[in-house]
Structure 1
Amino acid sequence: MRILQLSDFHLRGDGRRSYRVTDTRRCLDELVRHLEALTPAPDAMVLTGDLADSGDARAYELLREALLPLCRRIYALPGNHDRRDRMRSILGAWCAPDPGIPEFLCQAVEDMPVRLLLFDSMSPGSHSGHCPDAAARWLEAKLRERPGVPALVFMHHPPFKSGMGAMDEPFENVAALEKILGGAPWATLACGHMHRPIFTRYAGIPAMTSPAVAMQLELDLSPEGGDTFRMECSGYLLHHWDGAQLNSHVCQIPGTPGFDGPYPFVDKVNPTED
């Protein structure tokens, strides 16, 4: 089974460049050409947030038009640059919430050899990660339902520290999340938000972040690091389950990276909802 994790598209629907630099529509087009030639085709795609750059509706329409022909099973989470309301109305079944927790875009995919648990860590207007009590109870209950069954837990914000100070913000209720994941050694945590691949262990389980479909964060391990980006190779994670072992591969998207930068994240928006 092959599950593609695609993250941080930062699409704009107005044709402008994100942060005045990145042509995110071109990044999407390069991704589509790559996926059209990919064999075998993925069994599922999971989009781990920041699909739009500022939650505008046209960005979600463009993403849906581009990816819908490529995979029968697509699931999506919001990031801090997204709007839940517009994701619900435009992406539909990609982000259908669990009826037990309708206020969040949490969902469980149970009919595959590896369980896919999508955990919504977004709070409108906030850049950092959140684990509200209701969402924490949902995740704990889902992991307890099928103990020992391999599970990929997807979320936008990583709860672990990266060493890049500007990105290592406080994570609401992180102790509860750590306890829940620590009680599920059969789980693997896969996040977005960091715009580069990071591999570690968190709460005793494998944990990682995906590279971005758009720009990549400058690797700056300082208290101020993580607030600039470079036009490096775009990428994604491919999670492969062979029936006994789960491997996660870093994949690059063919394009024309100039490796120019670093650039600041100017004009950034963490949208609220109407």
Structure 2
Amino acid sequence: MRILHLSDFHLRGDGGLSFRVVDTRECLETAAKHLRSLEQRPDAVVLTGDLADSGDAKAYGMLREALEPLHLPVYAVPGNHDRRDRMRDILGPWCPGDPAVAPCLCYVVEEGPVRLVMLDTMQPGSHSGHFPEAVAVWLERVLAARPGAPTLLFMHHPPFVTGMGAMDEPFENVERFEAILRAAPWVRLCCGHMHRPIVTQWAGCLAMTAPAVSMQIELDLSPEGGDCFRMETPGYLLHHWEGGLWNTHVCQIPSVPSFSGPHPFVGSVNPVEA
């Protein structure tokens, strides 16, 4: 079982450059071309948020047009730059939220022996991660339904501290989230948001973040770090289940990066839904 994990496209539908620097449509096309060339096709593709740069409807249409020709199951959760309403309207089959926690786009995918639990940590207008009690109850119930089952828990915001101060914002209800995961050590936590691969142990589980399809955050382990990016090689994670074991591979997307930067994150918003 191979689960290909992409994150942080930051697409714009107006043809402009994201953060005044990045041609994210070209980044998407480069990534889609690479996925089409893979000899070992994944069983599913997961997108962990910031699909659009500012919730632009046209951006979601671009993403659908690029990935639909792969003829693979695609599952998505929103990030802080997304809009749930537009994701539901345009990418509906990719994010079939459980009505029990609406409007949050949380749901479970049963892929043979493994489970993909999709968790929505976005709150409109906010940059940081959120975990309201209704979602906590839902997650606790979902994980208890199949104890010990090999499970990947996908979400946009990492709940753990990364050392890049500007990105290490408070995560709502983090103590509750930690307690739920400590009771489910069979879960592997897979996030986006950080625009670079990070691996740690948190709440008794292996936890990681994916590199970005677009720009990579500059590695700056200071209180101000995480507020700039460089045009480094884009990438993704490939989660491989075989022989009772998860292996996660950090993969690169063939491209010709300029390695320019650091560039500031400017010119986009965390949208509020209409």
The alpha carbon displacement at 1:190 in A equals: 0.2
State the 1:99 CA deviation.
2.6
Query: Which amino acid is 1:61 matched to?
Result: G
In structure 1, how many angstroms separate the alpha carbons of the residues matched to 2:33 and 2:20? 24
Summarize the alignment of residues 172-183 of structure 1 with structure 2, pairs less than 5 Å apart. 172-183=172-183
Percent of matched pairs sharing the same residue: 67
Query: What is the total number of aligned residue pairs between the two structures?
Result: 274
- Tell me how far apart the structure 2 counterparts of residues 257 and 175 of structure 1 sit (CA, whole Å): 39
Question: Residue in 1 aligned with 2:68?
Answer: 68
Give the structure 2 partner of residue 246 of structure 1: 246
Pairwise mapping of residues 103-252 of structure 1 onto structure 2 (< 5 A)?
103-252=103-252
> Corresponding residue for 1:257?
257
Cα distance in 2 between the residues matched to 1:100 and 1:55? 24
Residue identity matched to 1:104? C
Q: Give me the whole-angstrom Cα distance separating, in 1, the residues matched to 2:75 and 2:178.
A: 24
Structure 1 residue 112: Cα displacement: 2.5
Q: Distance in 2 between matches of 1:31 and 1:172?
A: 33
4+ residue runs over 3 A deviation:
none
Distance, in Å, in 1 between the alignment partners of 2:112 and 2:214 is: 29
Unmatched tracts of structure 1, length 5 or more: none
What secondary structure is seen at the aligned counterpart in 2 of 1:34? helix
What do residues 36-59 of structure 1 show as CA deviations (whole Å, max 9, x unaligned)?
A: 100211100110000000000000
Q: Select between 103-112 and 219-228 the one with higher mean Cα deviation.
A: 103-112
> Whole-Å Cα distance in 1 between the matches of residues 269 and 100 of structure 2?
30
**Contact kept? 1:44, 1:71, Cα under 8 Å:** no
C-alpha contact 1:196 1:212 (8 A) present in aligned 2 = yes
Decide whether the 8 Å contact of 1:189 with 1:205 is kept in 2: yes
Letter in 2 for 1:103: P
Q: Deviations over 1:199-230 (max 9, x none)?
A: 00110110000000000000000000000000
SS of 1:238's equivalent? Answer: strand
Cα distance between partner residues in 1 of 2:65 and 2:250: 25
- SS at structure 1 position matched to 2:101: coil
Give secondary structure in 2 for the equivalent of 1:124: coil
What secondary structure sits across from 1:110 in the alignment?
Answer: strand
Over aligned residues, Cα RMSD in angstroms? 0.7
Q: Cα deviations across residues 223-264 of structure 1 (Å, max 9, x unaligned)? A: 000000000000000000013100000000011101110000
Q: Deviation per CA, 1:139-193: give whole Å up to 9, x if none.
A: 1100000001110000000000000000000010000000001110110000000
State the distance in 1 between where 2:57 and 2:243 align. Answer: 39
Map Cα deviations across residues 67-123 of structure 1 (whole Å, 9 max, x no partner).
Answer: 011142100000000000000000011011013222210010124221000000000
Shift, 1:266, TM fit: 1.0
Do structure 1's residue 51 and structure 2's residue 51 form an aligned pair? yes
Distance 1:72 1:99 in 2: 25
Do the aligned partners of 1:230 and 1:261 also contact (CA within 8 Å) in 2?
yes
Secondary structure at the aligned position of 2:165 is classed as coil
Counting only pairs closer than 5 Å after superposition, residues 91-106 of structure 1 correspond to structure 2 as 91-106=91-106
SS in 1 for 2:257: coil
Whole-Å separation in 2 of the counterparts to 1:212 and 1:235: 6
Q: CA deviation at 1:62?
A: 0.3
What TM-score comes out, normalization by structure 2 length? Answer: 0.99
